[in-house]
Each structure stands twice: as C-alpha cells, then as structure tokens.
Structure 1
C-alpha cells in the first residue's frame, strides 16, 4: 500500500505519522491515522464501529470511546468541526464514512513532504483526471523566482527532516529552580489555579517532613502542616480548598504490618495564613495505601495493597466504603481531571507492562501492551503522568524523558539535564511542568570492630553516590557501586589504585555485586540481568527466564545465585542456576532481604522485619532476633554469624552456632546500610547529602 495519499488539500504521510496542509505538518497518533487510512480504502462506504475496532485495534481490548477520540483527532487535524462533517461523516448507529475523494500516490509520485505540500497549495497546479502529469500555469518572473527559492528552501528542510530524528511531541525550552535550600524538597504539585507549588521539605536529622506552599508570583513560602511527620503524596480537591495526604505511623499493636496508614485532609486556604492541624479521614491497619487523588465525583482514588498485589480503589468519604476499580497488578497511575480519565500502568501475564485507560467508575476504555525501546534498559518500573498533549503521557527514567501514547508507543524526548529527575507534573495551563531534580551523595566507610573504641575510615568518597561495597575474598580489593561518571558503574579499589570495571549504558541501575569464593570473578545484577565479570573486565551476560531485580548471594560451588525476581508483578525470593538460567521460587512470603549462611541455609527478613531461616523442610523464625530487624534494612552473614542494624541504629551480631546475641556499637543515623565484614572490618554506606529541589521545565511554544 502507498505510504502517501491525498484527501482534498491534505497530504497524509504514513511513514512519518503526519497530515500536512500548506507545508504545515501535524503529528497524528498512528492508531488515528490507521482509522483514516481504513476509511480511505473504503471511501464513500459506511464502516461500522466494530469493523474499525477489530481492524485497527486487533488483539487489544478497547471501548468505542477510544475510536471516538481518534475520530475527534482526525477531524481537528482536517479542520472538520464535526457539525458540517465535510471529511468524516457520522452515520447514527451505523458507523463512519470518508466523504472526500482519495488520491493514492505511487512511489514515483511520492515526494518529500514539505516540497509536495508546497507544490499542491502554492503553485496553481491543475491535476488531470487520469493523474498522468501536472501542468504549471504561466506566472510573472518575480513569482517564478520566488517559487523556485521557496522550493529550494523546502527541499533543504526536507533533506534535514530525512536525516533528523522524528518530530518530538514537545521540547523543553528552559529549566529553572523553584526551591534552593540545603534541605530536600519532594513530592511537588501545582495548585489547581496554578498560583502555588506544594511540596515536602524533608529533615535529614529527624527523617520526617512537613508540607509547604510557595507563591510563584510573590515567591513567598508558607508552612502548611502544623507538625512534622512522615507524609506521603498529596493532592487537591477539585475546588482547590483542601489537600489530602497519606500519613505513615507505627502501628500500636502490629498484626499484619508494622506501619499503619492514615488518609488526612488539610484546609489549604486556612494554612496559607498559619500552619494547620490535619483531620483524619481514614485509617488502614491491615493494608497499605498510597497516591491519593481527589476525583471529580468527590471520591478519592487510592492504590491499596493488602497482600502483595496493589489494586486501584475508589473510596467514598460520604459512605465510608471503597470499590475496586482496577484489580490488575497496579504499580502507578495518574488522573486527568479535565477529561475525568485514569491512566494505569500495570503488570499482566508474562510480566508484560500495560497501559490501561479507565473512567473513575472502572469502565475500561483501552488496554495496550507497552513496548519499551532500547534506550530503557532492563525491567524498568516506569511511572507515566498525563501531559498537555492529547492522548500522551510522559515519564522519566532518571536522565532521559519519554512520551508515551495511550496505545503504549514510546518516543524519546531530548532534555539537557546533568542530574537525575522525576516524571513531570504539569501546570494547569499546560505550558510548563515541575520535577524533582538532585543527587544522592553517600560514601563507603569502614569501621574497625577489633578495638574497644570503634574507629572509622573513609574508603571511597566523591560528591555523588558510592555504596554497596564488598571485600574481595583472599585479596586486597573492594568492589563498590559509584555514580562518579554520571551513571551507576562497578568500581574496584585497593586504596592505592581505583578503576572502573563495568561500562553499562545511560540510565543503568545496579542491584547487587558478589565476589566468587576465589576472588577472581564478580557477579553483578544490573538492568534486570546478571553479568559475570573477570578482573580483566571481560563481561558475559547470563540469560534467565525471569527478570532479575536484585542479586543477594552467589554460591560459586553450586554455581547458583540467590535473587529477587519479578513474576507477573510479584517480587519473589528465588534461586537461579547460572548454567541453565532456570529459576526456583523459594517462598511465597513477602521478603525484604535475604542471603545464605556458610552451611547453605537461607536467612531472610519478611515485611514485618522478622528473621527466618531454612531448617529442614520449612522456614523457621529466629526468635532471638524478633525485635532487631530495622525498617527494610539489610543484614549480612559471615562465618555463620548474622550482623544487623536495628531501628535504634545499634549494630548487633547473632551466632547461629551458639545462639549468642550481642550489641556491638551504636552507629549514626546517616548510616544507610551495612554491606560487608572481613577480619573485624565492617563496610557501611554513609549518607552525606541527599539534595533534592523542585525544578520547573518551560515548554517551547
């Protein structure tokens, strides 16, 4: 089929997803163009909605509303107001038809889009009925020269178009900071009227935050929350008078979870005058809730997890009842109040990402698999938000920005940033958006536990993140992760020589490094894959049948690894055979961290931070460590001794052979994790700075 055809004065170019008039191309979603092309192939004939849906969206579940949106996009591009219906005509209860004649162009007739558009609209051509040739009418010399010059310019532009990348849905014109403190600002949104940004200001010392507002015109800041606490994401009511926010507290008597979650409301208008106490709307003691959105129907949408599976629910404050509106494995969603739509990113069969568009009552409008491009490495958890462009979402992977259509098609957007940033939230006017931008700075520190007075020493330090350091067995090297070159890479140091071992691509992420028993090789978990490195930098990728989320332990005798895998949205503790790639799930419990003992026993902490060990045919609790599990903190096992860090930042050890427990030393609150121990030398990750600021992206018009 021809890649170009004409409908009246419009040129349709399927290779570029463009409709052009008067040398002005418009980018059209591929599905909408597919609808137009199918109608063009059956010009003058009424095509039913079912036939269009079955043809264009074959193999996917969509509602008639999806087709109607595509028709509306086409009418807008063709200048058809939908009333006169000059181009696309609606036939009540029957379908649609294309009313204008279609001219299909052969390969010889197809020309670069801007040249062809110029000729067909500006050069007074006559087209013969048999389409054999075009005849130019006489014109003055000045007009002729002008026409030739215009044609040359158009040709140059078109040549560039062929060489350049496809047109972006929009581009970033300017980046400017909205907050600039020594603290950490997070979770920023605009107020519904666009006059304020609302954000969290986080205290590193107390590990809690409060909620602030900033007037974008006067630059005045207002503290909104009366008390600092652990506050999550916040959203406005439709009228902009109230905020809702999730507060996290310790459960008084934990039964199924350690933390309880409260949905709170705040009087925004009153808080602009002085900080306000919050009102409790709802408390969850046996489930986790996050990401609240106040819907147009006055219900509140929430992600809720009772076991492992996150669902999307709609909660009615008036009735104090909730209803599940999406029961897939939801890991992100966004709400567009203007169109009353929810965009849900979920994981379905075979660990496939999907983008689902639904109404607040749960009506499914469309469901499409997301095809991740090569620029997105591994099994990346993407979090797309609505953008100012119709039927388009936007998300960040750290240093890259991507646009995604409702059909799951992704396009890279270039953006000049030197630090990682979050997915944008857009201003009500659609001409700008805000992101959280900044760096995390941590160092590798060692503690000497052999002396009565525990002393520390800096192993690796830069102005960015160094962490997850592990000792080389029977050697002098330490392997660690570092972002000093801009991306996460594996580095080696022996205190006199430091060099980079890996060269992973942009926006890579590393979750775990383990030495072989002889210290000659390193196994790395990166980009949902396992990589084997020798010390001369030889790299081999190990194929597995499930995505690897974290590497926890390497058993070089059995040539197997203890890992976290992603199984249809669920994170499972598993063992993978490195020769075969086969994966064996070890437990259905929710696991925070795990490793193996010298005897090959698996030790893990569950979501309640309780310790378990594999003994006999099942996992058994380690009663002596019931109160010693820190909130999601890691632990290590060496010589059958468990070393851990509790919530009081007390370093402890527990001997699995003698069952002896001992508190060793109290560490500072900026110790993120302990990572390895060798000859009484303990390696830890020490947080120095976690600078985050609110930044505004101004879109080019």
Structure 2
C-alpha cells in the first residue's frame, strides 16, 4: 500500500519513504506505526491504542512508544517543537497532522534506479512538471520519419541499456515473499532443483529431523528416511540428477548420495562415516564427484573438508582459525570454484573469507562487528547476501569489500539462513513465527508450570540465590533486554533499556543477588539489579566461555590462548584482568558444588578440588557451547543432552544410568532446590519463503 504524505511517498509493502528521489528505509515497527497514523489522520490517538494496534497488545513501556515516535520523526525530518507530521499532546497521545492520501501502486522502480535522475525527451504530449515551466519549441525543419524513428530508437536503447546496467550493477530489492511450505514444524535448509520443479527441505517435528522432497506444482511429497536417524540437510548436484544428505543421531553420522528422477529415488550410497555427534552442512562442489562438508570430533569446533567420491580421499580445506563452533557455514559460488566461509575471529568479528578450491588460496573479504550470520554469494556472484543483525528480519547485500550495504528484503518475521534460488534471481529463506516460553519443572512431582508466556522469546531464566526472583532475557519490547520476575506473584519488571542488536548468551546472579552478569556475543556486561545501570567489562573483544561469579566482586571466565583455554578473573571495583591458575581451563564456582576442569580434561569437584571418579560424569558434559551445562546440587547432578533431543538428565552416584526428566528444545536450564527453570518452544512454525518482486 502507498500513501502520499505531503511531498513524501510512503510505501508500506517496501517499507520506504521516497522524497526528492531519495529513498529511506524504515524499520518494521516504524512502518506499522506510520501506516496506522496514515489510516487515522487528524485523530488523537492515545498510547494504549497504539500499543494495542501497533504492538498487537504486547507488553511495552511508555519509553518504547516514545523511542519509536522519535525514530519516525527523524525519518520524516519532523521537529517536535514545530511539528509538520506528528503533534504530541502530553498525557493524551499523538495526532498525525500532515495531509495524507492513499495512492494506487504504480510500476515498481528498483531502489538502485532511485539514485539516478534521467532527463526525459520532450514531446508535444509531455506533461509539464508541477511547479515548473515549459517553453514550446518547434524544429525549423521537420525531421524525416526514418530519422525521427532512428533517433527515438537510439534514445530508447540508451535508456533501456542504462536501466539494465543499473539493475545489473546493484542488487535488486524484493518487495514481497511467498511461502513454499506450510508445514506444522520448523522447515529449514531449502534447496530448489536446477530445473525449478522440486524442493528439498528439512523439517523438525517432535524433536526429530525429517527430510522431504516436494514437487512444487502439486505439493506432492516424499520423505527420505533412514530408520532411527534424523535426516538432512541436503543439496542438489548442479545437473539435478543426484542429492547428497546427512543422516545422523547421537551415536551415528553418515553422508549419503542418491540419484533422483522426478520423485523417484535410487538406492542410498554411503559415501562417508563422520564422527558421532557431528551435524554438519554438506554440498556438492560443481562436480558430482566431490562433496564439501563440515564435521567435528566430540566437542571440538567444526572444520571443512572435501571428499573425492571416486578415490575416497578426504582433504581438510584451507580455512580460517577455528573459533566458537568453528567453520560450519559455507557457500559455493554460483559459477566459480570458490567457497565463501563465514567465520568469527578471536575478537568475535564475523569474517567472510573466499577460498579458491583449485589453488587453496584463502583471502579475507571483510569483517563485520555485529551478531550477523550466514553469508552466501549473491546471484551474480559479485556481492554477499547476509541476514540482518539479531533479531534478523531482513536480507542485506554488501559488495565484496563490505561496503554498499543495501536491503534486499525486509519482513516482519525472524529470518534464518538464506540460499540462492536456482532461477538466478530470487532467494530462499526460513521465516519463523514462534517463541520461547519459560517453564518451572518440579523435580519431585514431575509437574510443569508455565511462568512466562508471551508472543516474543523469553529465555535464559535464572534463579536468584536468596529470594523468590528470577532474571530472564526477553524481546517483548522489540530488542533483547534483561527482565526480573517475582516468582510469588508473577510480576515482571524490565531492568535494561538499550534497544540495540545485542544478543545475550548467558545470564547469572552474583552470590549476594545485587548484580547480574550477562554474556553477549563479544562483550560481558555487569548489571546493577536495583538501578539497571549496566557497565561493560573492560576486556578485549574475544570469545568468552564459562562465566561464573567467584565472589560478589570477582567474575571468572575463560579465554583461549595458544589453542588452549585459560582461566581469568575480572575484578569489578577496578576493572583489573588477572590471569588465573594455569592448571585450570574452566571453573564453575558454587561453594562445595564447584566444578573444575584441568588441562588434561579431567573433572574435579569441591572448594578444594577433588577428582570426579564416576564414569557417567565426564568433561564433555561441563559446557554446552559457551555456557556451563553440568550443575551439581548436593548429591544430585543435572545436565542437558543438547542437540538434537535436548533431554534434561538427572543423576545420583550409584544409579545405573541418568534418568530423563523432560524433553525441551533449548539447552539452557537452572536448578534451585527441587525446581528447574527451562525454555520451551511454544506452538508456532517456521516455513520456507521465496522472494518475489511481483
């Protein structure tokens, strides 16, 4: 829908303001707010009405409304002291005072073309631009017909050529997307066959991964199964005659190749046994005789490999340093034998690397200091396409030096890893419409109680030590903020108000409950629980793991040095960073229940560390990603099994094996007395979409 607001054209579908050939992109919430104002001009609208209509009744603060109003004013270049668009009525609300009229949508003009103004060829029927003037001009001698048509054809060719050049030189903007799947689960990793007729995709249902082959014309499906194994992701060969895919569970990991004819599959051919617990991506190279895949051993980071299917030779590719989960995300260039690798560096800057598969030459294209994921080559191979910052609701394009940032598509749902469509124009992605709730599990009775239920993600819920409170992270206000929950009466209070793109990974209370430590992508924040005042720890940007309070004024965590993890202490009063005892990689301080991991990967317990002799308990359980996963509470031990089944396990020494308490879809949990806090995916779905400019 388009609206003419004074001399500004507002397009809600493309989320743009166009003023004097300048195109301004709006964020999704600002689009919703401006669209509501346009639908109700010159009417006093209270904050409660805005929250109900624009935020769909979600719990937001007055500050969130004020911030969004301020952002919209800046986009409109509106002075609140002498408003031309939005007038404020204190304690009453707002009124949109500009002249507004709805206009029919005209032909779509790509954003790239908005940067250049072409001078039209004057004719006897050309309208005079509003506010301008025209001087009638008659040639002294009329042009001969052939000559006139020659000139007209030349000019038309130049205009068309220039338009094609502009369109080719800069990425296209897509104003909408259409759903390709409508499954009840979470659909991931789409790949359309080279002839455009069939879709491969994974779907997660009831904690199990399924792989489907679907004919797009009639949506007839075939599930690709391997008994007892989750199946996917999968990719087509360049000629569309074969697919390669992963089939795995906690004990098994295999890559298979199968021939495909329509919806008929050949027999599976096992081409590689990968280490158990490895769930890496896989793709053919531009040859059907080679596959590229990511695998890991145990809890080590992922590495990239190339397998020659004829000789069986496996080669580790030249690749960036392994940080965090390692090198999991890669994409093959649409025409060249080059790989794009998305990889964080030790400072946690996301780097995008080009690997020439023929020469083995690895080069850094650019880095972004942002929580941003999953770069792929653009359709023309001359740009990169990425998701936006967390929570990602748009697809972005950059040139190969990291400049010329452009929005390709902007939606209202959270997007996940894009992929090129085989039509050479569009992109595929997963759009998620779901959220995490917080559950309180009673260990004695086995009962569940729903603590936090909203339309946005609530996660990382953590018990206070000495009061009936919990802290959690929520996107209720549009960005990840830290909140407090009173467990007695359910009252929720927002503690922070930063409204930026930070993404929290871990959250924990100080021993006296006066502070919270919040681990983000590459920073560690300390939050005063009473005031909400937040300070960033004065430490280098790096991958931080295993955060723990050693005392009320000392934080402990680990950094990687010379390929080994080293314990550090951060002293809050003076910001001093002190290297810890070189014997230890990680320490989780919890009084007599403290857990220690030495450089030989041996697990210890207690204030005076003693070796853990139980064969069920081992070092691999201690961490899940960057947070502690193994908790001890007296004689009881708790841990999450992690991906793919996320079972919550409980163990007491002497038991034959750990018992499973419940199944979740998130690894984070916290235990206090006989209760566990954990996150659970609420009823929702994630489907696969294709961009379109129709």
TM-based fold match above 0.5: yes
Query: How far apart are the structure 2 equivalents of 1:445 and 1:410?
Result: 44
Query: How far apart are the structure 1 equivalents of 2:459 and 2:393?
Result: 20
Shift of 1:440: 4.3
1:345 aligns with 2:345: no
- The one-character-per-residue Cα deviations of 1:366-390 (angstroms, maximum 9, x if unpaired) are 4334244xxx3xxx36320111244
Query: How far apart are the structure 2 equivalents of 1:286 and 1:348?
Result: 26
Query: How far apart are the structure 1 equivalents of 2:598 and 2:249?
Result: 21
Q: Tell me what 1:172 maps to.
A: 174
1:543 aligns with 2:538: yes
Q: Tell me what 1:325 maps to.
A: 317
Q: Tell me what 1:525 maps to.
A: 519
1:290 aligns with 2:283: no
Taking structure 1 as reference, are residues 487 and 348 closer, same or farther at Cα in structure 2, changes over 3 Å only? closer
Contact 1:470 1:676 in 2 (8 A): yes
Instruction: Look up the SS of the partner of 1:326 in the other structure.
Output: coil
1:474 aligns with 2:466: yes
Instruction: Look up the SS of the partner of 2:286 in the other structure.
Output: coil
Instruction: Look up the SS of the partner of 2:175 in the other structure.
Output: strand
Query: How far apart are the structure 2 equivalents of 1:457 and 1:178?
Result: 36
Shift of 1:411: 1.5
Query: How far apart are the structure 1 equivalents of 2:199 and 2:329?
Result: 22
Query: How far apart are the structure 1 equivalents of 2:397 and 2:583?
Result: 36
Query: How far apart are the structure 2 equivalents of 1:439 and 1:606?
Result: 43
TM-score (norm 1): 0.65
Q: Tell me what 1:303 maps to.
A: 294
TM-score (norm 2): 0.65
Query: How far apart are the structure 1 equivalents of 2:356 and 2:342?
Result: 14
Query: How far apart are the structure 1 equivalents of 2:304 and 2:232?
Result: 17
Q: Tell me what 1:316 maps to.
A: 308
Q: Tell me what 1:201 maps to.
A: 203
Shift of 1:483: 2.8
Contact 2:396 2:406 in 1 (8 A): yes
Q: Tell me what 2:71 maps to.
A: none
RMSD over aligned CA atoms reads 4.2
- The one-character-per-residue Cα deviations of 1:535-592 (angstroms, maximum 9, x if unpaired) are 22222222212335556322234512335x5779x7946434144363648789998x
Shift of 1:342: 1.7
Instruction: Judge which range, 221-230 or 512-521, deviates more.
Output: 221-230
Query: How far apart are the structure 2 equivalents of 1:269 and 1:113?
Result: 46
Q: Tell me what 1:221 maps to.
A: 221
Taking structure 1 as reference, are residues 242 and 532 closer, same or farther at Cα in structure 2, changes over 3 Å only? same
Instruction: Judge which range, 512-521 or 551-560, deviates more.
Output: 551-560
Q: Within 5 A, what are the aligned runs for 1:383-532?
A: 383-396=374-387, 397=389, 398-409=392-403, 411-413=405-407, 415-449=409-443, 453-494=445-486, 495-532=489-526
- The one-character-per-residue Cα deviations of 1:170-222 (angstroms, maximum 9, x if unpaired) are 21221121111222211111111222221012221xx2222212223333333
Contact 1:468 1:481 in 2 (8 A): yes
1:186 aligns with 2:188: yes
Contact 2:346 2:543 in 1 (8 A): no
Q: Tell me what 1:241 maps to.
A: 241
Query: How far apart are the structure 2 equivalents of 1:600 and 1:692?
Result: 40
- The one-character-per-residue Cα deviations of 1:651-687 (angstroms, maximum 9, x if unpaired) are 4254xxxx67698975232374562333433323334
Taking structure 1 as reference, are residues 349 and 596 closer, same or farther at Cα in structure 2, changes over 3 Å only? closer
Contact 1:295 1:360 in 2 (8 A): no
Shift of 1:436: 0.9
Of 357, 373, 382, the match for 2:373: 382
Query: How far apart are the structure 1 equivalents of 2:492 and 2:417?
Result: 34
Query: How far apart are the structure 1 equivalents of 2:347 and 2:490?
Result: 47
Query: How far apart are the structure 1 equivalents of 2:233 and 2:172?
Result: 27
Instruction: Look up the SS of the partner of 2:416 in the other structure.
Output: coil
Shift of 1:512: 1.2
Taking structure 1 as reference, are residues 675 and 391 closer, same or farther at Cα in structure 2, changes over 3 Å only? same
Contact 1:335 1:343 in 2 (8 A): yes
Instruction: Look up the SS of the partner of 2:502 in the other structure.
Output: coil
Of 595, 603, 608, the match for 1:602: 595
Instruction: Judge which range, 623-632 or 478-487, deviates more.
Output: 623-632
Taking structure 1 as reference, are residues 189 and 648 closer, same or farther at Cα in structure 2, changes over 3 Å only? closer
Q: Tell me what 2:76 maps to.
A: none
Instruction: Judge which range, 533-542 or 286-295, deviates more.
Output: 286-295
Taking structure 1 as reference, are residues 638 and 626 closer, same or farther at Cα in structure 2, changes over 3 Å only? closer
How many pairs align? 522
Query: How far apart are the structure 2 equivalents of 1:336 and 1:246?
Result: 21
Contact 2:186 2:687 in 1 (8 A): yes
Q: Tell me what 2:18 maps to.
A: none
Q: Tell me what 2:550 maps to.
A: 555
- The one-character-per-residue Cα deviations of 1:88-147 (angstroms, maximum 9, x if unpaired) are xxxxxxxxxxxxxxxxxxxxxxxx9857x759x99xxxxxxxxxxxxxxxx973489xxx
Shift of 1:393: 1.1
Q: Tell me what 1:10 maps to.
A: none
Contact 1:488 1:510 in 2 (8 A): yes
Taking structure 1 as reference, are residues 367 and 454 closer, same or farther at Cα in structure 2, changes over 3 Å only? closer
Shift of 1:391: 1.2
Instruction: Look up the SS of the partner of 1:345 in the other structure.
Output: strand
Query: How far apart are the structure 2 equivalents of 1:472 and 1:300?
Result: 49
Structure 2, unaligned runs of 5 or more:
1-20, 22-113, 123-133, 140-168, 322-326
Shift of 1:250: 4.2
Query: How far apart are the structure 1 equivalents of 2:271 and 2:536?
Result: 50
Q: Tell me what 2:333 maps to.
A: 336
Contact 1:465 1:483 in 2 (8 A): yes
Q: Tell me what 2:687 maps to.
A: 693
Instruction: Look up the SS of the partner of 2:496 in the other structure.
Output: coil
Taking structure 1 as reference, are residues 589 and 440 closer, same or farther at Cα in structure 2, changes over 3 Å only? farther
- The one-character-per-residue Cα deviations of 1:148-177 (angstroms, maximum 9, x if unpaired) are xxxxxxxxxxxxxxxxxxx97321221121
Structure 1, unaligned runs of 5 or more:
1-22, 24-111, 123-138, 145-166, 252-259
Contact 1:572 1:587 in 2 (8 A): no
Query: How far apart are the structure 1 equivalents of 2:564 and 2:232?
Result: 23
Shift of 1:439: 3.9
Query: How far apart are the structure 1 equivalents of 2:637 and 2:227?
Result: 38
Query: How far apart are the structure 2 equivalents of 1:393 and 1:616?
Result: 51
Contact 1:212 1:221 in 2 (8 A): yes
Query: How far apart are the structure 1 equivalents of 2:304 and 2:268?
Result: 24
Taking structure 1 as reference, are residues 322 and 280 closer, same or farther at Cα in structure 2, changes over 3 Å only? same
